[in-house]
Amino acid sequence: MSWFAVRCIFKWPDQPKYEERITVWYADTFGAAVDTAEAEANEYQTGSGAEYVGLAQAHHLSTDGIGHGSEVFSLIRESSLELVDYLKHFFDTGREVQSDLT
């Protein structure tokens, strides 16, 4: 058994919004972690009104336990974009919904 983080993507109906949720699961394999995460994603969509779009990405956590500072997800993407363009294209488009939690 190992820890896995799984990112699932959701579409909010009647809104131009997508949500990425990362959940953590203790499972035997990547497949088992994804299956469990997708079952939870279906429950989440029922309660939230968001639609699970069927995209799940898993990351094996190289630790026996989750703790302060644990890496819970990593995705490496190839891109020929320069740094500023890369960040604007994928992470700072101006359309992100962010909140100040302070």
pTM more than 0.85: no
Contact between 34 and 57 under an 8 Å Cβ cutoff? The reply is: no
Long-range contacts of 96-100 (CB under 8 A, 24+ apart): 97/17
Any alpha helices (H) in the chain, and if so which ranges?
30-48, 83-90
Rounded to whole angstroms, the Cα distance separating 96 from 66 reads: 28
SS3 90: helix
pLDDT along the chain (102 residues), means of 10: 92 87 94 97 93 93 79 81 86 72 52
Q: Provide the residue ranges of all domains of the chain, joining segments of one domain with +.
A: 2-90
